[in-house]
Amino acid sequence: MKIIDLSDEHKPLYFVCLEDWSEEMKESGSHKEVWYDKIKDKGLGVKLAVDDDGKACGMIQYIPIEESAVDGKDLYFIYCIWVHGYKKKGVGNRQKRGMGKALLEAAEADAKAKRANGIAAWGLALPFWMKASWFKKQGYKKVDKQGFQTLLWKPFSEDAVPPKWVKQKKKPVIHEGKVTVTSFKNGWCPAQNIVFERAKRAAAELGDKVIFREIDTFDKEVFLEWGISDALFIDQKQVRTGPPPSYEKIKKKITKKVRKLARHR
Ligand SMILES: CC(C)(COP(=O)(O)OP(=O)(O)OC[C@H]1O[C@@H](n2cnc3c(N)ncnc32)[C@H](O)[C@@H]1OP(=O)(O)O)[C@@H](O)C(=O)NCCC(=O)NCCS
C-alpha cells in the first residue's frame, strides 16, 4: 500500500468518495467536481491510499482552516477521511489495516511542511460514521462541541490558537401559505449533495405550495451570514441529514407540512 497525491486518473473516483459502484452516489450530481474546481487552488490537499494493485481504497481531504466552515487561523482542517468499508462492493472492506492511520499521518506531515501550526478535524460523538473517538486515539484533543459534532485538533506549536465551530446565526424565513424548503449546500460532501438534490426534486414534485430555496454556502460571506454550511430545513425545522434520508422520506416530510397547510385554511 502507498499514499499518493490525487492524480487525474483517480479524480472520477474521488468525486464519488471511492464509491463508483453506488447507485445512490449518482444522485449527488456534479457538485463535488464543481466545488473541487473552485477550491483546488486554495490549498486543498487530497491524498489517497492505493493498494498494491493500484486501486484507491482510502482518501483524506484537508484545507487551510480559513477556507473551511470552522473559525481558526494558521491550521489545516480535515473535511473527511474515509477508508472503503463496504463488503462485496467496489474494493471491499479495507478498514483496520493501517490505511487510515497512514492517510492521517501523511496529511499531518503535509500540513507541517506547509508551516501550519496544527491540524483540526471533526468527528461525531456517536459510534458510527466519522467517529471523534478515532481521532482521539490518534492524539487529537477535543476543543469544541456543537450538538453531536465534536471539533478536535492537534497543535504542532505552542502558539497555535484553538479553533472553534461557527455557531448558527439565524433560521430560514418562512412564507405565509407555503411550505419553505431551504437547502444549504457547500458542495464538498457528496452525501450532503444527495440530500440537496433529493429535497429539490421532492419540492418541485409537490408543486406551487412548496418554495425551494437554495443557499450556496461555498461563498464564505453567505456562510458567515447564516453560520450553516450544509443543512436541510422544512420551514424552520431542521431535518437530520447524516446519513442522507431517502427521497421518499424527504418527500413525506414535506407532504405532511403541505397537508397541514390545507387543514389550516
Ligand atoms: C476511521 C477510519 C478512517 C480508520 O481507518 P482504518 O484504516 O480503518 O484504521 P487503521 O487500520 O489505520 O487503524 C488505526 C488505529 O485505529 C484503530 N481503529 C481502527 N478502526 C477502529 C474502530 N472502528 N474503532 C476503534 N478503533 C479503531 C486501530 O486499531 C488502530 O489502532 P492502533 O493505532 O493502536 O494500531 C476508517 O475506519 C473509516 O473510514 N471509517 C469511517 C469514517 C467515515 O465515516 N468517513 C466518512 C466521513 S464523510
pLDDT at 169: 97
Same fold, 2-163 and 179-263: no
pLDDT at 265: 63
**CA of residue 134 to ligand 1 center, whole Å:** 6
**CA of residue 104 to ligand 1 center, whole Å:** 10
Q: Which of 50, 95, 126, 140 to mutate to test the pocket of ligand 1 (most atoms within 8 A of CB)?
A: 95
pLDDT at 199: 98
pLDDT at 39: 96
Task: Find how far residue 7's CA is from the centre of its chain.
Answer: 21
Residues of the chain with pLDDT under 50: none
Type of residue at 45 = G
Q: Tally Cβ neighbours within 10 Å of residue 259.
A: 12
164 half-sphere exposure, CB direction, 13 A CA radius:
5
Question: Does ligand 1 have an atom closer than 6 angstroms to the CB of 101?
Answer: yes
Contact criterion met (CB below 8 Å) for 87 and 39: no
Nearest CA owner, ligand 1 atom 24 = 134
pLDDT at 130: 81
pLDDT tens string 94-106 = 999 999 999 999 9
In CATH, 179-263 is 3.40.30.10: yes
pLDDT at 163: 98
pLDDT at 127: 74
Question: Does ligand 1 have an atom closer than 6 angstroms to the CB of 97?
Answer: yes
Question: Does ligand 1 have an atom closer than 6 angstroms to the CB of 188?
Answer: no
Domains of the chain by residue range: 2-163, 179-263
CATH topology of domain 2-163: Aminopeptidase (3.40.630)
pLDDT at 261: 87
Peptide bond into 243 cis (omega under 30): yes
